[in-house]
Each structure stands twice: as C-alpha cells, then as structure tokens.
C-alpha cells in the first residue's frame, strides 16, 4: 500500500486567498454625507406611498363589496331555481290529474252514468284547486326575487 502525501493548509494568507477576503472599511470622519434623494423627492415618494395605500384599501373594499353582491346573487338565483322546480312539479301533478280525470269521465260516459260525475270527481276537483293555489303562491314568491 502506497502512502500518499497529505497537504496541510497553512494559516498564512496567500495572494489568492487575500483577494477573496474583503478589506476592512476605513473609518470616515463624522461628517454627514449628502443624501442621494432630496427632501422634496422624499416628500413626493411619501405622498405616492400614501396614495398607493389608499388605493389598495379602496380596492380591497370594492372587492369585498363585489364578492358580497355575487354571493347574494347566487343565493337568489338558487332560490329562484328551487321555486321554478317546485312549480314544474305542481304543473306536472296537475297535468297527470287532468289525464286521470279524463279517464274517469270517459268511464262514466261509457257506463251511461255521467250524472254521477260530481260524486266521482269531487276529490279531484279539490286537488286541482290545491295545485292551482300552490302554483300561484310559488309564482308570487318568484316575483319577490330580484336578481
């Protein structure tokens, strides 16, 4: 087995490492340096910052208002859709009832007992009135919704 010589790093700075380390800053006298930005420019920048802050606040406020209006619109649109679905169900029930009533009337006509029509259809007439009132109530509710 061959022994390889090891290189030890010296603590002394070589020209190569000396260039990498920053030089110590010299102390300057206590005189205040002239500012790079004039007082007028600082004031203008301060005003600009204030205006940007105000604009940001207004933007946040407007965004919240818009979000609230969208939320309100979504709630109202959902309610409107629910009411329209309910009206459609009532009208479907009404149409089905009309068909059933027609079948009953036809059966009475064929059996030559058309005089019994009121007794046979009284429950159907009452259900028809209930459906008509329910449809009218839902349409009134739809009229109250403002989108």
Per the structure block, which two tokens stand in for 9? 């790093």
pLDDT (mean) for 46-68: 90
pLDDT at 131 over 90: yes
With respect to residue 62, please indicate whether it lies within any of the assigned structural domains: yes
With respect to residue 21, please indicate whether it lies within any of the assigned structural domains: no
Over residues 67-126, the pLDDT tens digits come to: 999 999 999 999 999 999 999 999 999 999 999 999 999 999 999 988 888 898 999 999
129 or 46, higher pLDDT: 129
> Taking the model in full, what pTM does it have?
0.58
Output the pLDDT for position 43: 87
Sign of CA dihedral 105, 111, 117, 120: negative
With respect to residue 15, please indicate whether it lies within any of the assigned structural domains: no
Over residues 4-44, the pLDDT tens digits come to: 555 555 555 555 555 555 555 555 554 555 557 788 888 88
Output the pLDDT for position 5: 57
With respect to residue 26, please indicate whether it lies within any of the assigned structural domains: no
- What is the separation, in whole angstroms, between the first and last Cα of the chain? 91
Secondary structure of residue 97 in the 3-state scheme: helix
With respect to residue 86, please indicate whether it lies within any of the assigned structural domains: yes
With respect to residue 27, please indicate whether it lies within any of the assigned structural domains: no
Range of the domain at 104: 40-144
With respect to residue 24, please indicate whether it lies within any of the assigned structural domains: no
With respect to residue 122, please indicate whether it lies within any of the assigned structural domains: yes
């Amino acid at each position: 087995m061959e022994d390889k010589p090891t290189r030890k790093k010296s603590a002394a700075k070589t020209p190569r490492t000396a260039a990498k380390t920053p030089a110590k800053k010299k102390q300057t006298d206590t005189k205040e340096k002239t500012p790079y930005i004039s007082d007028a420019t600082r004031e203008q920048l301060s005003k600009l910052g204030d205006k940007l802050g105000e604009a940001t606040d207004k933007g946040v406020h407007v965004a919240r208002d818009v979000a609230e209006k969208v939320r309100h619109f979504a709630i109202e649109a959902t309610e409107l859709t629910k009411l329209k679905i309910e009206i459609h169900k009532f009208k479907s029930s009404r149409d089905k009832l009309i068909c059933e009533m027609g079948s009953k009337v036809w059966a009475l006509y064929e059996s030559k007992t058309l005089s019994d029509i009121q007794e046979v259809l009284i429950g159907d007439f009452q259900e028809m009135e209930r459906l008509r009132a329910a449809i009218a109530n839902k349409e009134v509710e739809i009229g109250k919704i403002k989108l």
